[in-house]
A and B are shown apart, each in its own frame.
Chain A
Amino acid sequence: MVATGPLALVQDLGRPGHAHLGVPPSGALDTGSLRLANRLTGNPESAAGIESVLGGLVLRARSSCTVAVTGPVVRVRVDGRDRGSHVAIHLGEGQTLTIGTPGEGLRCYLAVSGGLAAEPELGSRSADVLSGIGPPPLRAGDVLPLGTPGGVPAGADVVVPFPTGETLTLPVTLGPRAEWIADVERGLAEWWTVTAESNRVGLRLDGPVLRRAAAYADDELPSEGLVTGAIQVPPSGLPVVFLADHPTTGGYPVAAVVRAVSLGALGQARPGTLVRFQPSR
């Protein structure tokens, strides 16, 4: 690892199944992109790769390997020569891979043949920023051990770079506590801005305030389990959309849950992106 960019974390598909112990699911936020990068390099889709915020990665191969960069379209070079994202690239020993900064979207994924062989914790190599489980953020100078390459790299694949724009309309399922919010459907359909306080725990939104319904104005919600994609409404009325490193229980009402198909788009939403929610029952 020669340079890490703003933040580079090891991620696989996470460690669901431990929430009753207070352990978040964690794992790649844009799972479609990690799975694709793994297929391109001949890995099982669940292999660990690097989740990079805004690129800027430089890596030097200490042994020959196959790599692929996915997520938003981004400039990828090997020893200074353009190679492109979303394709399998062979790196010879000593060659240097450089990933640029994507023009849109937020998180690039790098898979390496054999997968990253970080020590698993609770069945996963994912770095969990909420609880500190898993490998620490990568640093320049780190040497990343690789597993044994297994499969044959997929020469061609259905490669659909994520549509990441300045606005996102996200389909949601109302509940479990929609009735706690006044005029919830109209409220959720307003535009919010993704703030810079957002991270892998959740997207923090700024914009119109969601108010408590009169019947629940002074109620306190006893702690209850949370799922990824939950839109929680704290006392400020500014919603938080929980991502993979979310706390496992919470005491504020969840008005709606973002549908699974759009969770990857949440992971690609930059600060400044405008989002709104399209409720369905």
Chain B
Amino acid sequence: MRWRRCGEHAALFDCDSLARMRAAHATVSAARPSGVVELVPGARVLLVTERPGSGALEAVRALLDDADLDHPPAGDAREVTLDVHYDGEDLELVAKDAGMSAGDVVELHTSAEYTVAFTGFAPGFGYLTGLPEALRQPRLPTPRTRVPAGSLGIAGEFTGVYPRESPGGWRLLGHTGAVLFDPRAERPSLLAPGVRVRFRSVP
């Protein structure tokens, strides 16, 4: 575990694993030292940005030096269930590569509980962990130029939903009508790091 300087007013806290990163994020989120401007989880590291002169980076560093990252505080316990039409263009491909039927893929994907590990790519796009091993498959060799808003995809160890139409290379399992991001809503993003997510199959 180490700090990496990231310009004058930010640092990356290198956590070695996603589990420890989530623990570090939960620890800093719970204490939220004053002067922290951004707290951005990554796949292995936590980015902390401070207001210049606030000393927040030092405070976070002290906090994490003392933290037990193997027994983190409870994070954002919010739970979200997304209704999904499992009719994605790549459902058959995923089933074939996993050596099972399309119905098995749906059952497997809906049986797991997921957690938003970090965001990025687009506002409201969460990288969700908890994907069953059999569904961990590579991205498409050539990304699609247009993936419709609400598309549910998988890639590597992650699953996620495209909040708006965009290019994308994830294998598509289906789509949801849920609004994932609305900049004028009181809670602009349905998904945020730490939120737990389940998918429910609807016809």
Residues in A lying within 8 Å of B, measured CB to CB: 16-23, 25, 119, 121-122, 131-134, 173-177, 222-227, 229-230, 247-250, 254, 257-260
| A225-B12, A225-B47, A227-B49 as given contacts; A22 in contact with B122, CB under 8 Å | yes
User: Interface on chain B toward A: helix, strand, loop, or mixed SS?
Assistant: strand
* Contact yes or no, B12 A20, CB < 8 A: no
* Contact yes or no, B123 A21, CB < 8 A: yes
Q: Determine the distance from Cα of A16 to Cα of B52 in the docked complex, in whole angstroms.
A: 13
Residues from chain A with Cβ under 8 Å of B39 in the complex = 20
* Contact yes or no, B184 A173, CB < 8 A: no
* Contact yes or no, A248 B40, CB < 8 A: yes
Sample of 19 further A-B pairs with CB below 8 A, known A223-B42, A257-B8, A259-B7? A16-B49, A20-B40, A21-B124, A21-B192, A22-B119, A22-B120, A131-B122, A173-B5, A173-B8, A175-B4, A176-B4, A177-B4, A227-B10, A229-B7, A248-B120, A249-B119, A249-B120, A250-B120, A260-B7
Q: Is residue B183 within 8 Å, beta carbon to beta carbon, of the partner chain?
A: yes
Q: Determine the distance from Cα of A230 to Cα of B9 in the docked complex, in whole angstroms.
A: 12
Residue from B11, B181, B192 within 8 A of A20 (CB atoms): B192
Closest B residue to A257 by beta carbon equals B7
* Contact yes or no, A16 B5, CB < 8 A: no
* Contact yes or no, B40 A249, CB < 8 A: yes
A177, A223, A225: residue with the most chain B Cβ atoms closer than 10 Å: A225
* Contact yes or no, A133 B47, CB < 8 A: no
* Contact yes or no, A257 B6, CB < 8 A: yes
Residues from chain B with Cβ under 8 Å of A248 in the complex = 40, 119-120
Q: Is residue B153 within 8 Å, beta carbon to beta carbon, of the partner chain?
A: no
| A224-B43, A254-B6 as given contacts; A21 in contact with B119, CB under 8 Å | yes
* Contact yes or no, B7 A22, CB < 8 A: no
Q: Determine the distance from Cα of A229 to Cα of B9 in the docked complex, in whole angstroms.
A: 11
